[in-house]
Amino acid sequence: MKQVKKHDLVVLDMAGTTVADGGLVERAFTAAAERLGEDPATMIDYVRATMGESKISVFRHLFGGDEPRARQASLAFEEEYGELVAGGLIAPVPGAAEAIAELRDQGRTVVLTTGFARVTQDAILDVLGWRDLVPLTLCPADAGGRGRPYPDMVLGAFLRTGAVDDVRQVVVAGDTSYDMLSGVRAGAGIVAGVLTGAHDEGALKEHGATHVLTSVAELPALVRESDA
């Protein structure tokens, strides 16, 4: 029987954590809002505060529950973001691919998650050449439609991989307060915030980070040291 380490399942966010997109979320949101005849300046603060959340959920809030309008806005956002991605405006966070490889070499299962739609997640994976980097990638639709701050994607990774016996053996890492809330609500043993994305150390700790790292490149060493 395989000996299970203390933290054998690692669930990583993408944009801002493992993927550097240089503020493309805000650029795509601004373009999408303008396409729909909306003033992005009245909405951008909420977009920034909810980085990491499912994008359709953000638009539902912004449009007061008007589902057709929210879906129209979400589609426009995904199209705008996809064009920026296709234009080569994303790159791996320095050391991210190496960190994932090291975690896998340690015998751990790594899952990549996102608040984007599947089509956008797949576009990012294709541009970076990451299709075979991890055995499983998840977006909100893969977890019943609820993205962060709900725990569904983390728990989906737990259930689908069967990599660990207990949610306390799960590691969650992300750059936003919603990543931290998702990990806490899932019961993850390590909830690590990284400082390469949207939110600062104070926000990450306020929402439950057990550790704050300069970048995901530091995660393999933290997880190894945390094994019992």
Give the model confidence (pLDDT) of 85-113 as tens digits: 888 889 999 999 999 999 999 999 999 99
How sure is the predictor about 184, in pLDDT bands with cuts at 50, 70 and 90? very high
Whether residue 42 contacts residue 29, with contact meaning beta carbons closer than 8 Å, is answered with no
| Long-range contacts of residues 46-52, Cβ cutoff 8 Å, at least 24 apart | 48/198, 50/178, 51/16, 51/25, 51/175, 51/176, 51/178, 51/197, 51/198, 51/199, 52/13, 52/16, 52/115, 52/148, 52/149, 52/174, 52/175, 52/176, 52/177, 52/178, 52/179, 52/182, 52/198
Query: Which is more confident, 62 or 92?
Result: 92
Residue 154 has pLDDT above 90, yes or no: yes
Integer Cα distance of 121 and 131 in angstroms: 10
Average pLDDT over residues 71-78: 86
Q: Which amino acid is at 112?
A: L
Residue 82 has pLDDT above 60, yes or no: yes
How sure is the predictor about 5, in pLDDT bands with cuts at 50, 70 and 90? low
Give the model confidence (pLDDT) of 121-140 as tens digits: 998 999 999 999 999 999 99
Neighbours of 89 (CB within 10 A): 16
For the chain, the average pLDDT equals 90
- Strands 19-20 and 91-92 come out as antiparallel
